[in-house]
Structure 1
Amino acid sequence: MKTILHKASTRGHANHGWLDSHHTFSFANYYNPERVHFGALRVLNDDTIAGGTGFGTHPHDNMEIISIPLSGAIEHKDSMGNKAVIETGEVQVMSAGTGIFHSEYNKNKDVTAKFLQIWVFPDRKNVTPRYDQISIRDLEKENEFFQILSPSPEDQGVWVHQQAWFSLGNFTANTETSYQFHSGTSGLYVFVLKGKAEVAGTELADRDGLGIWDASSVDFKVEEGTQLLLMEVPMNLN
């Protein structure tokens, strides 16, 4: 087993007034040659958007983009004609493919919105752009991991053009558990949304990240009140 630890305090940080963003991997004006990506996981941005502000219309292509609201609500519009509000308890995915334009704004004028913006390299280029959004409230389980993303439209959660699986864990009690890899060529990136956990023998706290590869399973000791996001992705890029 190999691991790489990214403490919350070592992330890139940009405060634009309307946007306060922490970057686990190189993004925009933050560049660290040792932290460009973890396998197919390219971007993990932890964003706080002031009320009534947001990202104006901008382009993307050949990337799988996942948004997970943590508080508040995000208003989405795109060049495919989609108009939607994404709230806590939901997950949004876009396959940018041949190219899309979209905007994202804090729907509320007087409350900040927090969300994770995640980019995953696709396993094929120039696919037809698509959009999907689902509620994950019915998928939630206490004190165990539950899947929210996979490579298959027939599987639980949203899907992407990549051999990737995302899971969440909401722990209301001290719990010992494990995660089994789907593929021997995958890596697992663990991100602590809140709380504390010991993962593969490493102590993690709020917003810490740990990448793990060359393993078939990972052991967790999770404290009460902890929420974890697990992202399994290929380590080798085609």
Structure 2
Amino acid sequence: MNLFVDAFAWIFSPDRLTGSLPLPEALAQHLAYTFVSVLIAAIIAIPAGWAIGHTGRGREFAVALSGAARAIPTLGLVVLLYLVFGVVYKTEAAVVAFVILAIPSILAGAYAGFEAIDRSVVAAARAVGMTEWQILWKVEVPLGLPLLIGGLRSATLQVVATVTIATFIGLGGLGFYIIQGIALRQTDQILGASILIVVLALVLDGVFALLQRFVVPRGVTARRAAAAPAARPAVAAS
């Protein structure tokens, strides 16, 4: 218990606002690396995932690519790109590594969102004369958004955790305190920084969970609400 007391005392100490890397600056760096990496990954993966989901082509390649990317050792990828890019471009090397790690989840969420749509809905849209572009933006994108947000949620959590190890190549972020604490044998610092990273991940996860519920089309929500009361008597009767 004393470990946690010491950890929270370290977090809220006035000393965290000073020094070579103040805590607010480290938090800002951690968030910046996360958001920039996920944004770049989304720009790459979302159009590709939508194209796969809409046309039905390339799914096997996307699944294989996602599986291969998820199997890459995170620390090994960061260090490898750091060696390839060089010391001068260590920030770019880290961001590229984070983008590579974020793409599989976003890509999977993008095309899975389209695949989960009832094909009769798409067929009905074509039957009323909608163009392929209208079907994409007025039918498939709105209905596929919840799974896409789920992919973004998963990618963000993975990148938040991975940014922690960027300190190994001389970058900042909250991982700086963990590496420094290990070197100095400061348990309160290590635990305090770890708690901050966990809290940050939980906050981001909560934001995406709310967003995932918010983007569900109202028609789908109303249909689920109407179906729920009808299902209850059947369960009670059984």
Higher RCO by CA contacts (8 Å cutoff, separation 6 or greater)? 2
TM-score by length of 2: 0.21
- Greater per-residue helix proportion: 2
- Greater per-residue strand proportion: 1
TM-score by length of 1: 0.21
